[in-house]
């Protein structure tokens, strides 16, 4: 068997166009998990992924949710007894496409422009997890076998809470998902041509504040001055979440469990050629701002944050309407870092908001779905093999952390107890969750080739 993987890499080259057309078909399915109007499409998408796996040569099936959520897609090939087993994770659901009018091509009609494919899900996460699957498919097609065993678990609710997979992994998946390492498809490289080994993901606590005042909207002249205005009260609360000058979060106890950045992280991040000015310009802001004492990379990767995501209530239509609103609301997310705990932060937030609630209104705090933060291994035989495989295609990966969240990763880490690697090859300008999401085709094919190299390398790696 080839140790350079050249046989399979040649096939990938020959079949480029077929892969692309199949990916386009996948991207045409509007599998928006958060919006019930798309339920049939999400279910159809799950079936499509089962077929993709079967066509690749895996044994595949749906695993229905015990709690009424969207099914998981499971596939495996276990013809290499005595060899390591890798579990691949991805998600087949996507974010909503709005604001639709800002898309240059319709979000669910994939458009190849130059060396990029544009569509909702192109990078997050259909294109990426499809590339992982295609690497396996190409190996099976070329050789009739794999050098190691593989399992795939692709969920349909990552963008809307991931409850189905979380229940499944924590309650009944121990044996089915037993493996020597997990590969996650759902992330990005540090820069074009510069792959990364992401060893930290943030957690997420997502809260909603509702402030209720008078029993109806009031004339703001006749009644103004007599009662607490719920939107003024809300602004007061939100204004006390962070110190405007230092950027520090003011919730008592919030920083108690935060792991401080380590010296090696500080010096490795500082050595990147990160261009603050270009970053600032690309985002179109007059200046960057964040927590005092930390660089931009440190703020986004290793420091917890607290941000208002939406604020609503009162009159927001055209022109002026003099009204004192009956209620107001805000959605606030906190990105958590190790060793902060989701439940504890939800509790601290709720207690703090209640404690600063202005008089004369009722304040209600609720929490939405979230996830725990996680730190992953930066060393070991599987990490080495992945570093080498990515170096075969691009160059040696840099070790970075990430401000985004993939809630199931911390559950995998605690339940499965094996190394977890984030092998993403998206780019930071892929516009995930934004209009005009895209994937660079060079990264798509490079990702397939890197996984082929990695699986061949793992066949001769002592994994534990």
Interface ranges with ligand BES (CB under 6 A): 124-125, 158-159, 186-188, 204, 371, 402, 404-407
Tell me how far, at minimum, the Cβ of 220 lies from ligand BES, in Å: 37
The token pair that represents 233 in the structure block: 């009260």
Cβ proximity to Mn ion, 124 vs 440, nearer residue: 124
Q: Give contact residues for Mn ion (rule: CB under 5 A).
A: 124-125, 186
Cβ proximity to ligand BES, 203 vs 314, nearer residue: 203
Residue 88 contacts residue 76 (beta carbons within 8 Å)? no
Cβ proximity to ligand BES, 45 vs 234, nearer residue: 45
Tell me how far, at minimum, the Cβ of 112 lies from ligand BES, in Å: 22
Cβ proximity to ligand BES, 55 vs 341, nearer residue: 341
Residue 91 contacts residue 132 (beta carbons within 8 Å)? no
DSSP H stretches of helix in 259-320: 263-270, 276-283, 296-301
For residue 314, the partner it binds in Mn ion, ligand BES, none, with Cβ less than 5 to 8 A by kind, is none
Cβ proximity to ligand BES, 23 vs 148, nearer residue: 23
For residue 402, the partner it binds in Mn ion, ligand BES, none, with Cβ less than 5 to 8 A by kind, is ligand BES
Tell me how far, at minimum, the Cβ of 159 lies from ligand BES, in Å: 5
Helix (H, G, I), strand (E, B), or coil: what is residue 129? helix
Q: Give the largest CA-CA distance in the chain.
A: 85
Cβ proximity to ligand BES, 186 vs 298, nearer residue: 186
- Tell me which residue has tokens 């979000």: 107
For residue 430, the partner it binds in ligand BES, Mn ion, none, with Cβ less than 5 to 8 A by kind, is none
Tell me how far, at minimum, the Cβ of 282 lies from ligand BES, in Å: 16
User: Which are the contacts of 285, defined by CB distance < 8 A and separation ≥ 6?
Assistant: none
DSSP character for 249?
Answer: B
Checking DSSP bridges between strand 323-324 and strand 398-400, what pairing results, if any? unpaired
For residue 265, the partner it binds in Mn ion, ligand BES, none, with Cβ less than 5 to 8 A by kind, is none
Tell me how far, at minimum, the Cβ of 206 lies from ligand BES, in Å: 7
Give the H/E segment covering residue 27. Answer: helix 16-27
Tell me how far, at minimum, the Cβ of 368 lies from ligand BES, in Å: 9
Tell me how far, at minimum, the Cβ of 297 lies from ligand BES, in Å: 14
Torsional class of 350: left (φ above 0), alpha (ψ -120 to 50), beta (otherwise): alpha
The token pair that represents 410 in the structure block: 């911390």
Cβ proximity to Mn ion, 165 vs 241, nearer residue: 165
Angle between helices 6-14 and 441-458 (to 10 degrees): 150
Backbone dihedral angles phi then psi of residue 131, each to the nearest 5 degrees: -65, -40
For residue 340, the partner it binds in Mn ion, ligand BES, none, with Cβ less than 5 to 8 A by kind, is none
For residue 166, the partner it binds in ligand BES, Mn ion, none, with Cβ less than 5 to 8 A by kind, is none
Cβ proximity to ligand BES, 78 vs 296, nearer residue: 296
Which one, of 69, 59, 65, 25, lies nearest residue 45 by Cα? 25
Checking DSSP bridges between strand 116-118 and strand 59-63, what pairing results, if any? unpaired
Instruction: Using CB positions, name the residue nearest to ligand BES.
Output: 404
Tell me how far, at minimum, the Cβ of 309 lies from ligand BES, in Å: 10
For residue 5, the partner it binds in ligand BES, Mn ion, none, with Cβ less than 5 to 8 A by kind, is none
Torsional class of 278: left (φ above 0), alpha (ψ -120 to 50), beta (otherwise): alpha
């Amino acid at each position: 068997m080839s140790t350079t993987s050249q046989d399979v890499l040649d096939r990938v080259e020959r079949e480029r166009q077929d892969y692309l057309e199949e990916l386009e078909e996948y991207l045409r399915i509007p599998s928006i998990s958060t919006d019930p109007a798309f339920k049939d499409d999400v279910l159809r998408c799950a079936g499509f992924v089962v077929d993709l796996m079967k066509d690749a040569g895996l044994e595949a099936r749906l695993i229905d949710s015990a709690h009424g959520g969207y099914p998981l897609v499971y596939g495996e090939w276990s013809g290499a007894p005595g060899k390591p087993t890798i579990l691949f994770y991805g998600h087949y659901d996507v974010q909503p496409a709005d604001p639709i009018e800002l898309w240059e091509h319709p979000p669910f009609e994939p458009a190849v422009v130059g060396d990029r494919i544009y569509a909702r899900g192109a990078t997050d996460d259909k294109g990426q997890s499809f590339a992982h699957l295609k690497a396996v498919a190409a190996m099976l097609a070329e050789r009739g076998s794999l050098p190691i065993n593989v399992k795939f678990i692709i969920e349909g609710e990552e963008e809307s809470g991931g409850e189905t997979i979380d229940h499944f992994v924590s309650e009944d998946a121990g044996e089915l998902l037993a493996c020597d390492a997990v590969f996650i498809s759902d992330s990005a490289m540090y820069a074009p041509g510069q792959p990364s080994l992401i060893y930290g993901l943030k957690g997420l606590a997502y809260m909603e504040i509702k402030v209720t005042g008078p029993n109806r909207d009031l004339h703001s002249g006749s009644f103004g001055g007599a009662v607490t205005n719920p939107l003024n009260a809300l602004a007061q609360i939100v204004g006390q979440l962070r110190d405007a000058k230092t950027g520090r979060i003011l919730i008592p106890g919030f920083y108690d469990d935060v792991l401080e950045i380590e010296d090696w992280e500080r010096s490795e991040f500082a050595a990147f050629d990160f261009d603050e000015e270009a970053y600032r310009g690309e985002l179109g802001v007059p200046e960057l701002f964040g927590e005092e004492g930390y660089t931009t990379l440190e703020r986004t990767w290793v420091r917890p944050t607290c941000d208002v995501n939406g604020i609503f209530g009162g009159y927001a239509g055209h022109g002026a309407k003099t009204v004192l609103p009956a209620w107001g609301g805000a959605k606030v997310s906190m990105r958590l870092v190790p060793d902060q705990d989701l439940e504890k932060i939800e509790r601290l937030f709720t207690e703090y908001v209640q404690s600063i609630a202005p008089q004369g209104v009722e304040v209600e705090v609720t929490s939405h779905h979230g996830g725990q933060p996680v730190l992953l291994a930066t060393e070991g035989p599987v990490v080495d093999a992945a570093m080498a495989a990515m170096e075969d295609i691009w160059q040696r990966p840099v070790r970075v952390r990430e401000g985004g969240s993939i809630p199931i990763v911390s559950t995998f880490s605690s339940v499965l107890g094996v190394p977890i690697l984030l092998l993403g090859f998206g780019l930071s300008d892929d516009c995930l969750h934004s209009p005009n999401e895209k994937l660079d085709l060079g990264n798509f094919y490079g990702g397939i080739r890197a996984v082929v190299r990695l699986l061949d390398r793992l066949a001769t790696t002592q994994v534990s």
